[in-house]
Chain A
Amino acid sequence: MATLRIPALCLVVLVGASGSGKSTFGRKHFRPTEVMSSDFCRGLVSDEENDQAASKDAFEVLHFIAGKRLAAGRLTVIDATNVQPEARKELVALAREHDVLPVAIVLDPPERVYVERNEQRPDRQFGSKVIARQRSQLKRGLRSLKREGFRTVHVLDTVEEIDAVSIERTRLFNDLTDRTGPFDIVGDIHGCRAELEELLTRLGYAITRDDAGRAIDAVHPDRQAVFVGDLVDRGPDTPGVLRLVMGMVANGHAYCVPGNHEDKLLRALRGRTVTISHGLETTFEQLADEPAEFREAVATFIDGLISHYVFDRGRLVVSHAGLVERMHGRTSGRVRSFCLYGETTGETDEFGLPVRYPWANEYRGRAMVVYGHTPTPEPEWINNTICLDTGCVFGGALTALRYPERELVSVPAAEEYYAPAKPLHMASAPAREPDVLELTDVTGRRVIETATHGRLSIRAEQAGAALEVMSRFAIDPRFLLYLPPTMSPVATSPEPGLLEHPLQAFEAYRAQGVTELVCEEKHMGSRAVILLTLDDDVAEKRFGLAGRGAIHTRTGRSFFEGSLTDELLLRLRTVVAEAGIFDELDTAWLLLDAELLPWSAKAEDLLRNQYAAVAAAARTSLPAATAALESALASGLDVGDHLARLRRRTTNADRFTEAYRRYCWPTAGLDGVRLAPFQVLASEGTTYQDRPHVWHLGIADRLVAADPSLVTPTRRLFVDADNWEAGVGWWQEVTGAGGEGMVVKPAANLTRTAKGLAQPGLKVRGQEYLRLIYGPDYTEPANFARLRDRNLGHKRSLALREYALGLEALDRAARGEPLWRIHECVFAVLALESEPVDPRL
């Protein structure tokens, strides 16, 4: 039984006259969704599968859908007659556009078969003339299929063959997704054998030598090497490098992709005319001393190299000059050319070198792309891609990347073997990740995969509102690693006269099986996120932005103008350093979650325009109205109820005034400003949502101890199911003394329960504080009864989604992921905050 081999990703074009059995063949060998039939598309656009007048529209639909499938990397089968060269040409072009191989499978059974089949299909009575014409068109085209661009052509011309054949999908050569490493990826060598041997030795490889002492293999007990190409030219011992790498590849100890220098060498070895320059002359001299068999072996080796590899379930891509995401795992001349030469803008720089298109700046793929080709003084991560060419042959270094560890190992060049066209330190490779993000990183409908709460979607309008706020008010995204989530209040208390009470928080957690809780005092300030650095060089090095860090609000605005921010950051840096936190967490930067006091430092605007103004109006109108009612009552009018009500409202307004005054104290510059950190968010390589709150508060206490004039403690009480009353008593005490309230959190911090992620905290606000939220008169019985009816569902769901997005941003930041990946999450939190949720919750 014959087996047809086709690549796992390709465009299969079935070719055959009507009645040749294409649809049956398609059904038998492919999934229904893989087969795009022209008849079906005719039906889609015209309700009539055989309406030939609809063919033009039908093929447009077919090409559109096939294009979407190929873009997504899915094998696609075209079920149409495809007997005319024009029809096939369009399909070949479609395959090329998506860098997949076009495959033709021709079905051409003997004539009688068509006649029989067409007789059985009353819906389609093609004349035998039509069939004959199609078959003759097919016959004429058969020989030119390869020339038309089909890499593989299978012709089946008997019914038996058509019935008996089976199809095997073969893996693409570049598909090494099942090889998970670990790997050591080595940059451009250019004949620097000594440095290569030294590097491999440092990486833990044992070098095998032949009788003449020449290195012919290198073995690591559990790692494999991957060479990014440009093994040859310019350097002192190209044959020695080739011998070693060829040996490693042959023995399965390494993989190698070709560089542009190998490509050119191959053409030269095969006798093609090439300009002997850019170091090829040195290779030729050195190879001249080698036997002819070695030169032939080199040619065979280079010829067999695959343009790029996709490793480790698609997480790692290695190619010589990098690779844009849409070409990962694809095969075409274009892909090969990109892998070898990269993309150039068509311009040349002042040294006559081609200007590279900065594809890495726009790279948004999940796979890490490792490459060489363009010498840079220091390898730098750009959007999860890295160039390892550190110009060894030009006197730089030979560099390897340990994967998945992401560690760089370098060996300096013993000397400058070849003078670079432009000085190495002036290398034009994009120096680092671009500081301008793409609009498409944040706008439109987005779906973000979070580690803690699954896939979360952001609507286009939400993103639109966030775009305005982010653009007009937020700090530089490089310092904006996190925005805190909104927090849900407790369920409404059944107690008379109380909207919120701690018992509902305790019970809500108990219902989810969480009984170890911490009550933390709710500070009367503004939420502040603080990015701190160990010294003044850290920010530039780690985040690509000069400065000491940032202190920003929950919507990403800076709290203070530049010099005040820097002053406060410097004080805090000293506090954190004195407390030994940088050392303990082994980090040069730290992200803290804190409350900045007083509220009036930031919100004086709101306090004056909203709260004080209301109180001022109340202070002048209520006494006048009360006096008028008193006169009316004295003159015998029945206004007693009104008067009593107004007297109560006067008391309410007084209490309201007292409530907002607690949030105001004068600050001048930083004098009077205090910080109450309560949580460590992230540091280099680590996030802290799994550390219990006792640990976080312990850190906070150490900061207080280091500078009690600046850092304010967060009072707290740990409670469990046996001492709820203690929690209730503590809340009464805190709010009775004018405190804002408290936040109840699972003591263990991030908590997953059978019902999903638990709320990270529930706020329980004090009765008097709530006047600032619900208005001075909210306690009036008529108002109160209606206010109890509040819907918390949306707020809770929002709180969890924002929490998960915030954690995702922290994880990405700690892992050193590309800026756009962090910003996407931070932006999403802001976008969700634009949701119309009752702001009083």
Chain B
Amino acid sequence: MFLTLATDLAGVEAPASDLGFLLHKNPARPQGIEVTGGTAHVFYPEATGERCTAAVLLEIDPIALVRSGRGKAPEGFTLGQYVNDRPYAASSLLAVALGKLFRTAMNGRCDARPELAARPIPLEIHVPALPCPGGAELAARMFGPLGWTVDARPVPLDPQLPAWGDSRYVDLRLTGVLRLADALNHLYVMLPVLDDAKHYWVGPDEVDKLVRAGSGWLGAHPEKDLISRRYLAHRRYLADTALERLAEADGLTEPEAVPDDAEGPVSLAVERRTTVAAVLKELGARRIADLGCGEGALVGELLKDPMVAELFATDVSARALISAKRRLHYDDLPDRQRERLRFLQSSVTYADHRLAGLDAAVLMEVIEHVDPPRLPALAKAVFQAAHPAAVVVTTPNSEYNVRFDTLPAGTFRHPDHRFEWTRDEFTSWATGVADAFGYSVEFRPVGPVDPEVGAPTQLAVFTVREN
């Protein structure tokens, strides 16, 4: 909500207070304008020939922000809408305010001092509360390549509770010799990128504007992938307020969907899919259920096979089914294609008779999302109630985790994983289930097999034992 921009214009034949011309804001007259979510004030704590500091204070109106329901259905309340850092942190809202306050300056125009606008000048920027979930190091990676000297100090979460460590904010000071327009554009793009909050109150059109402001320098930025991915991560299609509410009721926070970075190259996910599809083909399965289909990646793969006559894509999350439908363009499929595919909201811990008697059911990376005490219910629902002729299960091989560079030791590949099994653990579970429900089971590796720790993914094929 607050930042300052200062210069002494050292080495330039002009008084420091000429910054006022560059910003098109008179140092003698504090000014306030209405912006998204509140009022943005510009004033100058100092404006002398030697040094000039412009301050932007964005005062958020938290109630108006909620009641206008920006970015969310007005009824879709969550507690976070009132108690959040918007009134204090330099969020994407501050970026939007900068864009509105300094539009002309950002374009590099200054009729009064054109030569000053065109040349690099010494600048100091201070953002006392910058959300920066990667810490000081990330701030350096973001601003360093743009020519700034970065001084980012972590802000402790609560000085009285030192065990809690640092907050996600840094107290950021940037110094450098840059064109003012560039400096403003850097802030305009980076504030929302670093702001890890869900973009409750920034509409998609504003996000597009932010992307455009990066033209000219974003392409050459070494972190451009990270920057653009963060954009996409924040543009969530469907904010599921219902689930957030239920999590909040327990004093928890619903974890953000995390891209499957931990497993490294995308190829493992692809390999898993193609292996499962190949196993199903080998089984000759024509009526198949993908239990826990998620976004429908496997379903898309299976649809390509004309031998597959009927596909049930189920997930416990209604939101996932909507995404899967959209991803597969379900509503636009020709009738004959659409008839092969049915989306069902279902749960692997409840018996679902709509799924009874199929050729095969797939549990691809599903069991590790179920609490261990609930696994017997999953086994009964799938192997006893649905009782397909074959079941294909994949799950991470925890032994392989040491081979993932980015995965800290002792952590799971996904925050929602309730467990990750070694090969022995998986084998023991799978053979137990097979014996209990009259199946035979065999195991296969998925992905490159490491002589020591095996393949990254383990797969089990269960087939009904002939009586």
A, B bound:
yes
**Chain B residues with CB below 8 A from A435, complex form:** 376-377, 380
Stretch of A47-55, A292-300, A636-644 on the interface side: A636-644
Chain A 766-789 interface mask (CB, 8 Å, partner B; 1/0): 000000111111100001001100
Contact in complex: A434, B350 (CB < 8 Å): no
The answer to whether the Cβ of B237 comes within 8 Å of any Cβ in the partner chain is no
Question: Do A625 and B161 contact each other (CB < 8 Å), given the known contacts A435-B380, A603-B252, A610-B83?
Answer: no
Partner of A637, one of B43, B87, B380: B43
**Chain B residues with CB below 8 A from A526, complex form:** 250-251
Query: Nearest chain A CB to B443's CB is how many angstroms away?
Result: 26
Partner of B251, one of A605, A632, A787: A605
Contact in complex: A617, B167 (CB < 8 Å): yes
**Residues of A in contact with B, size category:** 35 or more
The answer to whether the Cβ of A465 comes within 8 Å of any Cβ in the partner chain is yes
User: How many angstroms between the C-alpha atoms of A597 and B103 in the bound complex?
Assistant: 52
The answer to whether the Cβ of B312 comes within 8 Å of any Cβ in the partner chain is no
Contact in complex: B253, A437 (CB < 8 Å): no
**Chain B residues with CB below 8 A from A627, complex form:** 45
Contact in complex: B77, A606 (CB < 8 Å): no
Partner of B164, one of A608, A618, A631, A838: A608
User: How many angstroms between the C-alpha atoms of A227 and B318 in the bound complex?
Assistant: 50
User: How many angstroms between the C-alpha atoms of A442 and B316 in the bound complex?
Assistant: 13
User: How many angstroms between the C-alpha atoms of A360 and B11 in the bound complex?
Assistant: 91
User: How many angstroms between the C-alpha atoms of A476 and B377 in the bound complex?
Assistant: 9
User: How many angstroms between the C-alpha atoms of A454 and B128 in the bound complex?
Assistant: 57
Chain B 305-321 interface mask (CB, 8 Å, partner A; 1/0): 00000000000111000
**Chain B residues with CB below 8 A from A787, complex form:** 63
Partner of B169, one of A468, A473, A620: A620
What is the predominant secondary structure among interface residues of chain A facing chain B? helix
Question: Do A624 and B157 contact each other (CB < 8 Å), given the known contacts A439-B347, A836-B75?
Answer: no
The answer to whether the Cβ of A840 comes within 8 Å of any Cβ in the partner chain is yes
The answer to whether the Cβ of B345 comes within 8 Å of any Cβ in the partner chain is yes
**Chain B residues with CB below 8 A from A837, complex form:** 77
The answer to whether the Cβ of A76 comes within 8 Å of any Cβ in the partner chain is no
Of the candidates A475, A553, A629, A657, the one having the most CB atoms from chain B within 10 angstroms of its own CB is: A629
The answer to whether the Cβ of A306 comes within 8 Å of any Cβ in the partner chain is no
User: How many angstroms between the C-alpha atoms of A433 and B345 in the bound complex?
Assistant: 25
Stretch of B137-145, B239-247, B272-280 on the interface side: B239-247
Partner of A839, one of B28, B155, B248, B349: B248
Chain A 457-479 interface mask (CB, 8 Å, partner B; 1/0): 00001001101111111011000
**Chain A residues with CB below 8 A from B381, complex form:** 436
Segment 734-792 of A: residues with Cβ below 8 Å from B: 772-778, 783, 786-787
The answer to whether the Cβ of A264 comes within 8 Å of any Cβ in the partner chain is no
**Chain A residues with CB below 8 A from B157, complex form:** 608, 612-613, 616
**Chain A residues with CB below 8 A from B168, complex form:** 613
The answer to whether the Cβ of A602 comes within 8 Å of any Cβ in the partner chain is yes
- Nearest B residue (CB) for A772: B83
**Chain B residues with CB below 8 A from A620, complex form:** 128-129, 155, 169, 171
**Chain A residues with CB below 8 A from B123, complex form:** none
User: How many angstroms between the C-alpha atoms of A554 and B249 in the bound complex?
Assistant: 7
The answer to whether the Cβ of B435 comes within 8 Å of any Cβ in the partner chain is no
User: How many angstroms between the C-alpha atoms of A434 and B4 in the bound complex?
Assistant: 66
Contact in complex: A471, B82 (CB < 8 Å): no
Segment 574-619 of A: residues with Cβ below 8 Å from B: 599, 602-603, 605-619
The answer to whether the Cβ of B334 comes within 8 Å of any Cβ in the partner chain is no
Contact in complex: B128, A613 (CB < 8 Å): no
Partner of A612, one of B76, B164, B242: B164
The answer to whether the Cβ of B106 comes within 8 Å of any Cβ in the partner chain is no
Question: Do A839 and B350 contact each other (CB < 8 Å), given the known contacts A435-B380, A467-B345, A610-B84?
Answer: no
Partner of B246, one of A476, A619, A776, A834: A834
User: How many angstroms between the C-alpha atoms of A467 and B243 in the bound complex?
Assistant: 11
**Chain A residues with CB below 8 A from B77, complex form:** 836-840
Of the candidates B4, B82, B381, the one having the most CB atoms from chain A within 10 angstroms of its own CB is: B82
Query: Nearest chain A CB to B246's CB is how many angstroms away?
Result: 5
A-B residue pair count with CB separations less than 8 angstroms: 246
**Chain B residues with CB below 8 A from A830, complex form:** 246
**Chain A residues with CB below 8 A from B126, complex form:** 624
The answer to whether the Cβ of B53 comes within 8 Å of any Cβ in the partner chain is yes
**Chain A residues with CB below 8 A from B316, complex form:** 467-468, 471-472
Chain B 396-416 interface mask (CB, 8 Å, partner A; 1/0): 000000000000000000001
Query: Nearest chain A CB to B48's CB is how many angstroms away?
Result: 9
The answer to whether the Cβ of B467 comes within 8 Å of any Cβ in the partner chain is yes
Partner of B385, one of A436, A554, A836, A840: A436
Contact in complex: B83, A834 (CB < 8 Å): no
Contact in complex: A774, B55 (CB < 8 Å): no
Partner of A465, one of B82, B242, B249: B242
**Chain A residues with CB below 8 A from B44, complex form:** 632, 635, 637
Question: Do A629 and B318 contact each other (CB < 8 Å), given the known contacts A555-B249, A603-B251?
Answer: no
- Nearest B residue (CB) for A622: B88
Contact in complex: B251, A602 (CB < 8 Å): yes
User: How many angstroms between the C-alpha atoms of A568 and B99 in the bound complex?
Assistant: 56
User: How many angstroms between the C-alpha atoms of A774 and B347 in the bound complex?
Assistant: 36
- Nearest B residue (CB) for A461: B318
Contact in complex: B249, A632 (CB < 8 Å): no
Segment 167-207 of B: residues with Cβ below 8 Å from A: 167-169, 171
Question: Do A468 and B88 contact each other (CB < 8 Å), given the known contacts A616-B156, A624-B126, A639-B43?
Answer: no
**Chain A residues with CB below 8 A from B377, complex form:** 435-436, 476
The answer to whether the Cβ of B160 comes within 8 Å of any Cβ in the partner chain is yes
Query: Nearest chain B CB to A760's CB is how many angstroms away?
Result: 18
**Chain A residues with CB below 8 A from B62, complex form:** 775, 777, 783
User: How many angstroms between the C-alpha atoms of A824 and B276 in the bound complex?
Assistant: 36
Segment 364-402 of A: residues with Cβ below 8 Å from B: none
Query: Nearest chain B CB to A815's CB is how many angstroms away?
Result: 23
Contact in complex: B88, A621 (CB < 8 Å): yes
- Nearest A residue (CB) for B319: A468
Contact in complex: B167, A625 (CB < 8 Å): no
The answer to whether the Cβ of B271 comes within 8 Å of any Cβ in the partner chain is no
**Chain B residues with CB below 8 A from A605, complex form:** 251-253
Contact in complex: B155, A619 (CB < 8 Å): yes
Partner of B45, one of A471, A612, A615, A629: A629
Contact in complex: B351, A438 (CB < 8 Å): yes
Contact in complex: B1, A439 (CB < 8 Å): no
Question: Do A616 and B55 contact each other (CB < 8 Å), given the known contacts A435-B380, A439-B352, A775-B83?
Answer: no
Query: Nearest chain A CB to B58's CB is how many angstroms away?
Result: 10
The answer to whether the Cβ of B448 comes within 8 Å of any Cβ in the partner chain is no
**Chain A residues with CB below 8 A from B156, complex form:** 616
The answer to whether the Cβ of B369 comes within 8 Å of any Cβ in the partner chain is yes
Contact in complex: A840, B79 (CB < 8 Å): yes
**Chain A residues with CB below 8 A from B61, complex form:** 783
User: How many angstroms between the C-alpha atoms of A467 and B316 in the bound complex?
Assistant: 7
The answer to whether the Cβ of B57 comes within 8 Å of any Cβ in the partner chain is yes
Contact in complex: B164, A637 (CB < 8 Å): no
- Nearest B residue (CB) for A645: B59
**Chain B residues with CB below 8 A from A616, complex form:** 129, 155-158, 167, 169
Query: Nearest chain A CB to B77's CB is how many angstroms away?
Result: 5
Partner of A632, one of B43, B78, B252: B43
**Chain A residues with CB below 8 A from B155, complex form:** 616-617, 619-620
Query: Nearest chain B CB to A774's CB is how many angstroms away?
Result: 5
Contact in complex: A612, B161 (CB < 8 Å): yes
User: How many angstroms between the C-alpha atoms of A435 and B350 in the bound complex?
Assistant: 9
User: How many angstroms between the C-alpha atoms of A348 and B126 in the bound complex?
Assistant: 80
The answer to whether the Cβ of A833 comes within 8 Å of any Cβ in the partner chain is yes
- Nearest A residue (CB) for B355: A439
The answer to whether the Cβ of A352 comes within 8 Å of any Cβ in the partner chain is no
**Chain A residues with CB below 8 A from B53, complex form:** 628
The answer to whether the Cβ of A410 comes within 8 Å of any Cβ in the partner chain is no
Listed by A's residue number, 12 A-B pairs whose Cβ atoms lie within 8 Å are A435-B376, A441-B350, A443-B345, A476-B374, A606-B253, A612-B167, A617-B131, A624-B126, A625-B128, A635-B45, A839-B245, A839-B248
Apart from the given pairs A465-B318, A645-B59, 5 other A-B contacts in the complex at a CB distance below 8 Å: A467-B350, A605-B251, A623-B128, A642-B41, A834-B242
